[in-house]
Amino acid sequence: MGGPRKVTVAIDGPAGSGKSTVSKEVARRLGYAYVDTGAMYRSVALLGMRAGLAPTDREGFIARAAAARMEFRVIGAGQRFFVNGEDLTDAVRDPEVGALSSPVSAILEVRKHLTAAQQRMAAGGGVVMEGRDIGTVVCPHAEVKVFVTATPPERARRRYLEVKAKGEDVTQEQVLAEISERDQRDSSREVAPLRRAEDAVELITDGLSIDEVVARITEMVREAEAR
């Protein structure tokens, strides 16, 4: 007799909500694969930047999304993100790449290519997938759906500490303005806008530790596995 069945875990939320940190740890504790869909969109933006594409060159970004071979590889105790055989884990975190990834992710054909890739990754379960449209578009039938969020000031505080630790010269007010602008873009775009799936559990993480949030989600997954 085998162990508990593997399920699909969809974790959505806005920028700075802590969903990446939480998703990685949930996957680690469960022994599941972790898929950061944001990194996939960022990689398309990065490939376009390297090719010198104008931000308005829709066809150029669509072509790169269609041709890109993306994979998440477990290496040692961590995980790395490879595109066309190149490790882009760190490169896609560049702020300039992040700024371009939002408009790139609003291109319908780019989303179609990456959504199909993400659905292939999620096939068979045993995956924690993180993004902005996982529970609504990519994996609408996921057994566990969570919408991780926090108030804008709290998200700005977290992101500010993160970027300051990297030595970047920013103010908390600048980060809050960027987060508010990103929220507006992501929630108002026509294609796969950021929103909580009707059957998703909302976790507001103000005042909660990472461990508390991870424990709650892990418990939900264990319950789903036992059904």
Which are the contacts of 45, defined by CB distance < 8 A and separation ≥ 6?
A: 61, 92, 97, 98, 100, 101, 104
pTM for this one? 0.87
Domain ranges of the chain: 7-17+130-222, 33-124
Fill in the amino acid letter for 137: V
Residue 181 pLDDT > 90:
no
Give the single-character DSSP code of 200.
P
Q: Which of 32, 29, 22, 58 is nearest to 130 (CA)?
A: 22
CATH 3.40.30.10 for the 33-124 domain, yes or no: no
**Per-residue pLDDT tens over the stretch 121-150:** 999 899 999 999 999 999 999 999 999 999
Type and span of the H or E element at 165? helix 152-165
As a CATH number, domain 7-17+130-222 is 3.40.50.300
Q: pLDDT confidence of 1, banded at 50, 70, 90?
A: very low
CB atoms within 10 A of CB 55: 14
Chain segment 87-125, per-residue pLDDT in tens: 999 999 998 998 899 899 989 999 999 999 999 999 989
